[in-house]
Structure formats: C-alpha cells, structure tokens
Homo-oligomer: A and B are copies of this chain.
Amino acid sequence: MTALTVDARDGCARSGRLRTAHGEVRTPAFMPVGTHATVKSLDPAEVRASGADILLCNAYHLALRPGVDLIERAGGLHVFMGWDGPILTDSGGFQLVSLRRVTSVDEEAATFVSPYDGSRLRVTPEEAVSLQARLDADIVMCLDQPVGWGSSAAAAVAATERTHRWAARCRALHPGDGRLLFGICQGGFDARTRSESAALIGGLGFDGIAVGGLSVGEPLDVMEAMTAASLAELPGDIVRYFMGLGTDSELLAMVDLGVDMFDCVAPTRLARSGSAMTRDGRLALRRAMYRDDLRPLVDDCPCPACTRFSRAYLRHLLAAGEILGHRLLTLHNLTHLTTLMAATREAITAGRFAAFRAEADARLLAGRASGDGPDDPPFPAPPQRVGARRIPATLDPSG
C-alpha cells in the first residue's frame, strides 16, 4: 500500500489523499511556500484557515539560517514554526540552477556558498536526506541536478544521469520512521530523456515522484510535452508532484496530465506586488480605477480580504505601504488556489473535469478582472516574472 489513496479518476486527472506523519493531504493539492520556515507575512493559523493542508520549506535555506541543529533542538520544524500539518522540504537541488554563480557540483556532493556570511555548505545526497529528516520533514526530497532552459542536450543528459546516481544514493538511505521520500525525475527538454529519467526514478521505489527542472522559462507546450513524457513512465499508484507551478491555467493543464501536487511562490509574490488572483485573471489593485471601489475584492471568496474589507481599503493599504495590505492579499491568493484545488477535486469526483477546466480557461481568457484602467503613476510596475517558483539568478527566491 502506498501513501496515496486515489479516490476518483477522470481521464488522467485524479483525486485522492496522501497520508503523512502529520496528517492527510487532499490531492490535487497546492502547497504554499514557506522557504524560511514562514509563509511570507502569514501566521501558520492563517495558512491553515486559507485551506492549505501542507506547506513547503527549503532545507538549503534553513540549513544556512538558522541551522539544522537549532531546529532539531527545538523539536523539529513543526514545533519551531508552529505548524502542526505536513511539511515537505525541498533539498536545495534547485539552488544549483537558481544560485549557480555561488554553487558548484561534483560527483560526490553539491557545494553552496552562503549568501548570508560567505561560508561554504557541502551536501552529499545522503546528507541532503538526513538533514531533512533532522528538520522533521514529512516529505523529504532527493538532491537532484536540474538544468536551466537553454542548456545544451549534453549538459542535460549529464545532469540527469548524475541525478539518477544521486537518487539511488538517497533511496539507499530512506529515513523511514513515517517520513516519505520523493524522487525527482529530470531530463532537460528532450522527451526521450524525460521518459528514460521517469522510468528509472519511477523504478527505485520512492513514496512519490516529482517532475523537476520545468517551469524555468520554457514555453507552455514544451512544459506540457515534457510533463506528459515523464508521467507516462511513472507508476500509477504513487503521488506525482510538479515543482514550482503556477498559474491557474498551468495548474489545471498539469492536473489534466495526472499531476497531484504543486507549489509556487506566485500567491505570496503577487500579493507583494499588489496583485490579486481571481478566476477572471489578475486584478492589479494598485490601479487608480480601484481607488473609490467599495466592492469586495472577489464577491464569493471566503477569505478575510474579501469578506471584511473593500477594494478601496486594500488599495489604500497598498498605497500607504501598509503590511496589512500585503497580508490580506496573500491570504486571498492562497485561498484562491486552495479553492481552485478543492473545485478541481470535486470536478474530478463528478467526472466533469474536462468541462471544468474548459470553463476556467475560458473565463481567464476573457480576463475581465483587471479592466483597462491606466496604471496609477505613483506605484512601481509589478515584477516581470511571477508564475514560477523557480526564478533563476536571484539570491532570495523565497516568495
């Protein structure tokens, strides 16, 4: 019996429950990102109230600051950060791409230079697993080596093969004691390499498999083809996690292919730039058109931003640089994604996922949310790329 129970299937899409040592995760699931042991701007009780079952922390960042020793001594991440639900920790593999100027890789290990104090952190695949176990992660990710969009085929193959050797070393050290260990398949941007990687990783007996190294700048059709090539080779009874996604439309496209789990900094990062996620597209609250708009942000959304405040008040908070604006938009965006996932699960159970996805995409395409008002001059433009968790070449990709 695997940790996943599939309750319903609709085409390749599926709805189920993943059992972890700290409770059940309803899938398809969206995981809020709490890189530094906090989902940016939120109290863990708010994360729970937004509908999230599980969150993601980053073992690489936490190992550098505040350090694994402290978190272990505190009783693990759950106690340290006050979140009693499941936690997945990312291994730091992605930082080999996003922080490539301050990392190096050899066959034995990955070496990171701390952006905080310049110290070096050398991590073998085995250490990546044991560090995450010491953090008390419910889901431990293998150390992998992705490649960026635009890398050569030879570089992709070499990194993928190393990922395979590292995966076997991680698997040999499965921490057990109720933790789940997830493999990560790679393969660059070639369908055959993707298939081979998925078949190999899928055969190692992991508790779940992540599709890694995508949503790094490639076009959507490439992302879809690479994901399809990967998923076709994976065992049907274990959970599948697409790392670092995304927009509503991307999430539904990947659910359609059979993905069960997602994470992304988009809801927190968009909130910081003043954007609300809605079923009609993004609503850029900083626009002057919302200055006197006393309507709720989104009519039927159950989040505090929508039930207790107006667009005009939220815009006022953003204009005044007030933290409550950031908080309320973050809560809204998380609620939007967990609500989307809940509706997705219902649609799958009812056997109407295709229609559900088509309706959601059509409504997004109509894109009425942002209207056509001019941007309000006093505010800076929002950042250019927010759809991906994995934003290369930044030292702090933490939502």
Contacts and interface: CB of A to CB of B under 8 A. Distances in A.
Given A80-B313, A312-B74, A316-B65, A40 B116 contact: no
Contact of A43 (B73, B294, B324): B324
A37 interface: yes
A66 interface: yes
Contact of A74 (B66, B294, B319, B322): B294
Given A74-B294, A294-B73, A38 B324 contact: yes
B378 A116 contact: yes
Interface stretch (A119-127, A208-216, A276-284, A303-311): A303-311
A113 interface: no
Contact of A70 (B82, B312, B317): B312
- For chain A, what secondary structure do more than half of its interface residues adopt (helix, strand, loop), or is it mixed? loop
A310 B43 contact: no
A284 to B, nearest CB: 17
A153 interface: no
Given A74-B313, A294-B73, A310-B80, A66 B319 contact: yes
Interface in A269-324: 291-292, 294, 304, 308-310, 312-313, 315-317, 319-320, 322-324
A294 B294 CA distance: 45
B36 A322 contact: yes
Given A70-B291, A73-B294, A291-B70, A81 B323 contact: no
Number of copies: 2
Contacts of A312: 66, 70, 74, 80
Given A73-B292, A80-B310, A312-B74, A36 B66 contact: no
A294 to B, nearest CB: 6
A26 interface: no
Contacts of A294: 73-74
A37 B316 contact: yes
A311 to B, nearest CB: 11
A116 B327 CA distance: 23
A80 B308 CA distance: 9
A313 B81 contact: yes
Nearest to A272: B323
Interface string A64-81: 011000100110000011
A42 interface: yes
Contacts of A74: 294, 310, 312-313
A82 B309 contact: yes
A340 to B, nearest CB: 24
A354 B162 CA distance: 74
Contacts of A43: 304, 324, 327
A46 to B, nearest CB: 9
A41 interface: yes
A14 interface: no
A326 interface: yes
7 contacts: A36-B316, A38-B317, A65-B319, A66-B315, A70-B292, A74-B294, A117-B378
Interface of A: 36-38, 40-43, 65-66, 70, 73-74, 80-82, 116-117, 291-292, 294, 304, 308-310, 312-313, 315-317, 319-320, 322-324, 326-327, 378
Given A38-B322, A66-B315, 5 more contacts: A36-B317, A40-B322, A43-B327, A70-B291, A80-B310
